[in-house]
Amino acid sequence: MTMQRDQALRVLARHVTDDIVVAVYTTAFDWIAIRSGPLNYIATGAMGLGSSHALGLALGRPDKRVLALDGDGSLLMNLGTLVTIAEVAPMNLIHFVFENGTYEANGSHRTPARNHVDFSALAVAAGYRSCHTFDDLVTFANEIGSVLGEPGPVFITMKVEPGASPKFDYEHMHSARVREEFKAALASLA
């Protein structure tokens, strides 16, 4: 069973207040369409580094919850980040991996070991404090509030399929204005 990524992100958005959200690739386009805001850190152009960016932000701002909205293809490019995050163990980091078995941003090519990799088991083995897997929107909606309250690092595998195609607005995503707004919002957090 799977859920549509955009529907899951809409559920998650109900729980996001002044959190820092690091979103990668197609998930980023869905996220900014659902919940745009200056505390969205959009990571594109360096596949696999979204979780590393989220770790840096979590360490730099231990007073704020940081949500990494990673993709399975992106995480596969940087599996070492799991061990690094677990070792440093930031209590404020929630690491989502949206698993659809493809490198969606690069032509939807199949990922290696599609449907055989257990990302939450990898995170458990790496030493994450808490790991969860969701493949049903109702269960996710019922449980995400309490999961977000757990001390990090928390790892969440989201078994998803793409929803409606988002608007691919690279000009907005890569604009100097977006970077300046993020920098200002981060600096203004109390």
User: The domain spanning residue 137 has which CATH number?
Assistant: 3.40.50.970
Strands annotated E in 72-185: 93-99, 102-103, 109-110, 130-134, 154-161
CA 47 to chain centroid: 13
Distance CA(47)–CA(19), nearest Å, equals 23
| Ramachandran angles phi, psi of 4, nearest 5° | -80, 135
Question: What's the domain range around 174?
Answer: 3-188
Q: What is the CA radius of gyration of the chain?
A: 15
The count of structural domains within the chain is 1
pLDDT in tens, 30-75: 888 888 888 888 766 667 678 999 999 999 999 999 999 998 888 9
Q: What is the mean pLDDT of each run of 10 residues along the chain (190 residues)?
A: 86 93 84 85 72 94 95 87 97 94 59 78 96 96 97 95 64 70 74
pTM above 0.85, yes or no: yes
